[in-house]
Every structure is written in C-alpha cells, then in structure tokens.
Structure 1
Amino acid sequence: MKLIKRSNVTFLHPSMEAREHQYLKHLASAMSHYLEHPRGTELVCILGSGFEKDNRQALDTWVAYHHDEVFEKRLEGRSPLDFLIEKLEDLINN
C-alpha cells in the first residue's frame, strides 16, 4: 500500500472550500429548476448513492460527484450548467 505524504497534500482554505460547496449547491438548484423541481425519489437510484431522501438530495450528490469536471469546464470558459444538463439528459435517455 502506498501512502500519501502529508507534505504533498494541498488543502483548500476553509472559505474557498465553502465557496466551492455553495457553488455546487447553486448548480444543483439550477438543475432542479430545469427539471421543474421533481418531487419524489425516482432520481435517487439514478443519480444518488441510494441514501438520499429525495430527488433534490440526489441532485446534490450527483453534482458534487462531478466536482472536478464542473471546475474544469469553468476554467475552460464553458458553462458547467450546460455541461451537467447535457450529461444528465444523456444519462436519463440511455
């Protein structure tokens, strides 16, 4: 087993981490709005880990899972929301 040296790990400043978390929450909220605020739990088995209580929590989990891709798209100057919507539509339609 290979261990990671603590000196090689870069931690985000707590305020930066909080801003990223808030940004992901806003993206999940925008996606919920795009899906017309789906009520129920049908998305939990598709988007979530299976422990979420409703579709909104499943969207939060799914968006957080794509954290790296979201911030990569932002760096490229592309809309992370458009990227996530396209990815979600592909997932649901297939």
Structure 2
Amino acid sequence: MLKFVLKNPTELKMTIALNGLSIRGFSKEIGLSHSFLSQVINGKRNPSAATAKRISTGLQKNIGDFFLVSLVDELPSRGMWNDSSEN
C-alpha cells in the first residue's frame, strides 16, 4: 500500500495562491471538500493516491513535487501467525 504525506504545507498553499485561487476555490475546482483539503494541508489526514493526483494535477505539478510517497507493508491479520502445532 502506498502512503502519501504532504511535504511542505506552505509550498502547497503558496502554489494555490500563485494560481490565483483560495484554498476553498481550489478545492471546488478539483472536486474536494474544503474541510478535507484543509485537513491534508494541516497534516491531519493523508490523501489517497487518487486525491494526491487530483491536487497535483490541479496545479500542473507531479505528485512528488508536493507529497512524500512511501510503501507501507500491510501486516497480516493476527490469526495468520498462529501455528496450531505450537498450541
């Protein structure tokens, strides 16, 4: 699973402003709620790959310009580690 974390909130806000938009206006333009975009900017939420792409594409940038992308291993459920021969 990929995890997307905003690198620099100030840079994203400045880029939005330099494109002549407010955060609210930009969120409308790319089809996100203002509250969700604000949570991403404030580090309270991490976007999905599709959302990170919408933000980046909306500003004509690459995802890597704004987001750190890392591979997060999903741990198997607890039951997969249990070996019945040890019980």
TM-score, normalised to structure 1's length? 0.29
Pick the structure with more helix per residue: 1
Larger radius of gyration: 2
With a CA cutoff of 8 Å and minimum separation of 6, indicate the structure with the bigger relative contact order: 2
